Structure 1
């Protein structure tokens, strides 16, 4: 019996609190949605990973046949720590991207000069990198290298319960089996290749390394610059090690294997080969120049993965829809299960993710903090608050950078950037620089953490973030004496970015004013919980924030003309959907607003989180049938591929905010929200017998 077959028998004993009556069979639930492919899916490759690291691969089980066709997903190896900056970006003056705007009688600077060389350089640096391409090298007897057309009868499964992918195919009449698995703690994958072709030297594992392209989007690699980076193979105490240098970025790859490891004539290429029919290897990526002395075996990685994923699925929440009569139950359940897997891989790391996770470089790989809510808030509702807290702590790390932004602009507290790298520096943008709806997010996250653990330790840990955030929010709001109200804007871009060309005229977006009230009141509660003196301006701004605008009986997106543009995000719905009722929203008006959006909106222009957002509003309004219809609405950016990803466009071939939004909405619809009728189970689902919702381990939404 091979070691890999032994791995499949690995099991873990978990100790938990007493199970409820008739608990959900979680293994059956997960196995219902095992992913199976029988052809290449350039738009939907599979991945293994752990939140800090991800390995994306094709139907061969490795990164053998990447496609550069428009819309294809790159086959990349990415880690949270893997960043690079071009040498020429050093010393670029941030001030060159700044532009002054007159706001309420004083000049405020924003980095909106997108045309300057400085702005373009600062946006593109630093950028995430592809750590390496790990592929099969398959050759015919006469030496010709295989193409994807030579791969016959492929079949691939990803067992979500254990995290192991198994890929089988035939090449040149011989069977090939590849098993792929990621370690849950280390940035490592284990690979096993079994085939008579391995022993004959016609199947091997090949590592190739590129220089980063530094581009926005799927194109991660520059294969035409071999002179700009170095790859060195050495043998150390722990075995074979590859040292990589890309300007000031250094990392190593530990190659733990009994196979032969050799450099090739092609630059930056390492080959692993074996004289036996099986080739096992563990490839472990490490930041910096240090080389680990210990070795990992494939057996250890497999066992650790199986234990990790079984524990993941057994803890936290679960939703079982299999007893439903509505034929859409299976698709919704599939989306829920696959989204849990994908967000655990791509959204549960120590840094806020990019929209495309550890797949490719939207926004050059930088974080986009207005989307952080959609990536990570759901972890709390699914009782996996630790996965949210991994990235929540990063806000404390960048407090100095965020404070410098606020100080430069003359505000108190800290102003969180929209697009930024690990250092918290706000990337120049004529839109992102002016967004404000990311500002309350850290308060929301901190409140979720407190709900999960209402202890002095939680208050101490996140209190400085809450205080600094609220200080800015209260100072940013402008007191209009004539109205006796605090107003938001100008200068801002609303969550519905359709008005970005009118940024100097936009006032009081409906969602933002409601979010401002909610966050400032919660921040004031935190001061009381911590036994600290109140900051009166916080409650004053919250109490006198400008109310949302109503025209023709519905809420508008913004207070100023054109009031509502019927495209992009219908963000006014979030004011009673994402948010609880903060005392600004009339349910009847919001009910009419939802109907108006459903009836007449350019749905193809919406984004992946818009359907979950609207579903939350429908649920709170007591319209569960609409909630289901919205969650599963057939619109281009709400389609979920075979691997669970939600494609948006060629430049955004995956979009994790959709997955996170779906999970938040589904948990809310099943477990309810704070002011929902406690006697009604699953209040966001229809109660007409079409849906049977079994759920456990979920937390109520706000």
Structure 2
């Protein structure tokens, strides 16, 4: 027996407590989760800086990463934003000095030449520039400067009594440590809506001048991965900074302007000290870009640092930032859906619960942005800081499933609307109708060149999934209108892309193409299982979208949908793609990378049209993945996708096995470990974990309600069934 709670938005919510006594029996008791108690039970605590991850405060569009001092004193973790990007100069290679000099490569595609966005020997330099630019910036570092009479460089090991806690309920990092027998207490906050970090410091070291605050500015690099730190501090001659203070420096305000030639922005500061004290900021004298804010006659310092493309008229005071954070974070925790596993005595439940709560905090800080997040969020840089269109779903779909629709609405559908003109042009240039979404891009809409980038197709139906959940949440004419242009252009391309096989009489997908796994021969890959199922799903939604508006459905949509190639079957299983050789052969690429065939029943609902899925094939495929797939080399969303597949197959325990698989790791603060394939953090792990847990908590159409292991005592609030 299963049940689901009601939407908690009304605050006066009835929650169903699910106590599984037997696999087929549970009792229901009305209850109310003490959400604050649950959240704070998993507050991250540290006694030393992590070498890979900070503790963060932020708001989705801005984040500040702190080491053990509450600032960026010893570990130059990043301060990152949605707007902070930089371009290096264009190449000087003759014939490759401007973007228009790039023309890609033509490949034969079903009897015609199609221009793909991949480099050729004649334009490698401009292709590299397009891939690497723009890249996301580390806006600056803020840390403690220790004054030592012996000129000794102070290290973290020289501090004692180091304690740090991130209070996720209010969004504050509280840090304390001892230096030279003096205690230093620090609170670090971020404004929920501005790119501002606010800090309070208490220590007698401030009064003596032994402790001050530095502000430093790194120079960007064109590294594909900038982890754990972003930018370098030893190329000071390549950029400029300047200080301005109103009233000749007699006030408690200052602005530092950072000039990177192609990018310029301001750090605006405002500080206050106790009565009788004073504070002043001084520019560097050693050729660096390190500015120092020093105090005297005070044991307290409070300051706010605001980063912006241009200095605002005013900087929020610390008290205002604190009040806003104390209001925003409890509202976030209270208004969304919630899971309480504290009643389950199983250690697996406790660990899963930790990951759930800490992931909820981290996705709000790193992924709730105006554009889709990059894989590493606002912690460091991966793939030059750009976002991936195929990852939008894994990053942000969970916001809808956890009843945080407003956070999802920050980026969607606006991202698709913003990228629609270039996507229409991409399809047209290649001879297709509609809009072909790119893979790796940024707010400038530059499409990063690459063979995989240009031949990947599974990102195309994503708008349909988002739109369908949006309509479930708000089944209104406005929702239909908001998504109609995007869905129409997407479906037009999907119908145009499918190729009529004159021999079989069905529409094929590919070649050339890369499936989800990205590890097959693109010229031999045809009719991949997941992409075929997703194509049908996308066209089904597009057709329903027109019907809801009493609008005509383009004939091409129904023709292609009704005549799509059937899902391939090999040896009673769903393979990577049609006629793939050596499927299920150990130690081959056929059982490596993303096991996307599990997504046809995990991520996707049963098909609304065409033949039903083959249940025995689904079960046999799941069994072979568990037995034969190279899970030690899998990463990220592989495990939650497999967990969702297990849930639909009725095996909640196997779902937990996947979510707690030894390869699927999260560190002490909840950051998803990248492993051997990608750097840490890899946030698709966090968001897909939440997506899978939402499925466990809310169920899906026809199987509504919780689907946790039978022996677990679980409380859930605010979930609705998924597709």
Fold similarity call, TM over 0.5? yes
Q: Residue 475 and residue 252 in structure 1: after superposition, are their counterparts in 2 closer, same or farther (change >3 A)?
A: same
Distance 1:93 1:416, change over 3 A: same
Of 143-152 and 612-621, more deviation after overlay is shown by 143-152
Moved more, 18-27 or 50-59: 18-27
Distance of aligned partners of 1:15 and 1:297 in 2 relative to their CA distance in 1, 3 Å threshold: farther
Distance in structure 2 (CA, Å) of the matches to 1:119 and 1:280: 47
5+ residue gaps, structure 2, are 1-7, 15-29, 273-278, 584-589
CA contact (8 A) 1:94 1:118 kept: no
The alignment partner of 2:679 has SS state of coil
> Aligned match of 2:517 in 496, 508, 513?
496
Distance 2:480 2:219 in 1: 44
2-side partners of 1:79 and 1:485: how far apart? Answer: 47
Q: Which residue of 1 aligns with 2:77?
A: 75
* In 1, Cα distance between equivalents of 2:312 and 2:530: 50
Q: Does 1:468 align with 2:489?
A: yes
- Alignment length (residue pairs): 670
Q: Specify which of 570, 578, 592 is matched with residue 567 of structure 1.
A: 592
CA distance in 2, matches of 1:15, 1:581: 30
1:592 is matched with 620
User: Does residue 605 of structure 2 align to residue 580 of structure 1?
Assistant: yes
Supply the distance in 2 between the matched residues of 1:127 and 1:322 (Cα, whole angstroms).
42
Structure 2 Cα separation of the partners of residues 95 and 451 of structure 1: 46
Q: Could you tell me how far apart the structure 2 residues matched to 1:40 and 1:579 are? A: 41
Cα drift, residue 75 of structure 1: 0.3
> Which of these residues, 72, 75, 79, is aligned with residue 63 of structure 1?
72
1:9-408 matches, cutoff 5 A: 16-20=10-14, 21-66=30-75, 75-88=77-90, 91-93=97-99, 96=102, 98-113=104-119, 116-218=124-226, 220-236=230-246, 239-258=253-272, 259-266=279-286, 267-275=288-296, 276-287=298-309, 289=310, 291-392=311-412, 393-408=414-429
Matched residue of 1:300: which SS?
helix
Write the distance in 2 (CA, Å) between the matches of 1:461 and 1:262. 51
Q: Is the Cα–Cα contact under 8 Å of residues 194 and 278 in structure 1 kept in the other structure? A: yes
Q: CA deviation at 1:264?
A: 2.0
Q: Is the 8 A contact 2:190 2:321 kept in 1?
A: yes
RMSD: 1.7
The one of 611, 635, 645 equivalent to 2:671 is 645
Over residues 253-275 of structure 1, what are the superposed CA-to-partner deviations in whole Å (9 max), with x where a residue is unaligned?
Answer: 11011332221213212111211
SS in 1 for 2:282: strand
Counterpart in 2 of 1:686? 709
Give deviations 1:334-354, integer Å, cap 9, x for gaps. 101111111111111011111
Alpha-carbon contact 2:104-2:120 (below 8 Å) kept: no
The reply on whether 1:608 has 2:617 as its aligned counterpart is: no
What is the CA deviation profile of residues 104-139 of structure 1, one whole-angstrom value per residue up to 9, with x for unaligned ones? 111111122276111111101111011001111123
Contact 1:188 1:284 in 2 (8 A): yes
Shift in Å, 1:235: 2.0
Residues 505, 560 of structure 1: 8 Å contact kept: no
Asked if 1 retains the 8 angstrom alpha-carbon contact of 2:77 and 2:230, the reply is no
1:485 aligns with 2:506: yes
Q: Is the 8 A contact 1:567 1:605 kept in 2?
A: yes
Deviation per CA, 1:39-82: give whole Å up to 9, x if none.
Answer: 2211232111000001111111111112xxxxxxx600000000
Supply the distance in 2 between the matched residues of 1:295 and 1:571 (Cα, whole angstroms).
48
Shift of 1:225: 2.5
Paired with 1:89 and 1:59, the residues of 2 have a C-alpha distance of 41
Q: What is the alpha-carbon distance in structure 1 between the residues aligned to residue 162 and residue 719 of structure 2?
A: 38
Is the contact made by 2:509 and 2:527 (CA closer than 8 Å) also made in structure 1? Answer: yes
Asked if 1:450 is matched to 2:471, the reply is: yes
Given that 1:414 and 1:471 are in contact with CA atoms closer than 8 Å, whether structure 2 keeps it comes out as yes
Instruction: Describe the SS at the equivalent of 1:693.
Output: strand
Question: What is the TM-score normalised by the length of structure 2?
Answer: 0.90
Q: Helix, strand or coil for the counterpart of 1:386?
A: helix
- Indicate yes or no: 2:572 matched with 1:553: yes
Alpha-carbon distance in 1 for matches of 2:370, 2:208 = 44
Secondary structure (helix, strand or coil) at the match of 2:142 reads: strand
Asked if the contact 2:595–2:625 (Cα under 8 Å) also holds between the matched residues in 1, the reply is yes
Q: Deviations over 1:383-414 (max 9, x none)?
A: 01121121111110111111111111011111
TM-score by length of 1: 0.93
Aligned counterpart for 1:521 among listed residues 540, 544, 548: 540
Structure 2 distance, partners of 1:543, 1:183, is 51
SS at match of 1:101: strand
